[in-house]
Amino acid sequence: MKLTLEYDGTNFSGWQVQKEGRTVQGVLEEVLGRLLGERIRVVGAGRTDAGVHALGQVANFRTENPMPTERIERALDGLLPDDLAVREVAEVPPDFHARFSAKARRYRYNIYLRRRAVGRQYGWFVPYELDLRRMEKAAGAILGEHDFRAFCIASSAPKRPVCKVTEAGWSVGDGEVHFEVVADRFLHSMVRLLVGTMVEIGRGKLPVDAVEKALASGDRAFVGPSAPPCGLFLMEVMY
């Protein structure tokens, strides 16, 4: 079964089950287990960190229960907590894997240019003037296939740190700016480190070619601080 999910990550300790802390995977497995009467293991397309949100996370699980997908979807609507919702339940081939079958993922990061009371948990308030032209130029540097080891938490750097980015850019809204990026895969904290670096570039605290130099050298000296998780959304997973 394939699940398309949305969740507010504010009160979750991330996607992946942990020994302590409330997680999206943990809540899903507990609720599905009660509903289907068997132990359920859920696989997600992306392991979002604590505080990160999703509008289009995808997961899959196997079950021996013949309950129709429509009934599962309706039941989950009534059983899941308010900060986790299922948008769709669908049958998929046995070889479908939410993570390994994915071709690309889209993330969006929200930055607020004025302080907010309502919706503050869905964006990063940056109280500085930002030069969007510099930030857009920096975003252009990540297009294509690159080694992103400089934009990954060192303790979780994978053996293969190469990602192929097909879309990356900034847009301006009413009192806010947004960064959207599409890639075949993402490293741990990659988007947040990219955003944090580009904000420093927009403030004039880092040179406009800092992203390019970080990609070429793998040196974290060119990388800014990680943006907070509250502004990050997993928008969709493409298959």
The residues carrying an active-site annotation are 49
Q: How far apart are CA 44 and CA 136, in angstroms?
A: 31
Q: How far apart are CA 148 and CA 142, in angstroms?
A: 9
Chain position carrying tokens 């793998």: 218
DSSP string for residues in 153-178: -GGG--S--EEEEEEEEEEE-SSEEE
Q: How far apart are CA 110 and CA 212, in angstroms?
A: 23
Q: How far apart are CA 75 and CA 29, in angstroms?
A: 14
Q: How far apart are CA 78 and CA 1, in angstroms?
A: 19
Q: Which among 62, 73, 67, 205 is positioned nearest to 138, based on CA atoms? A: 205
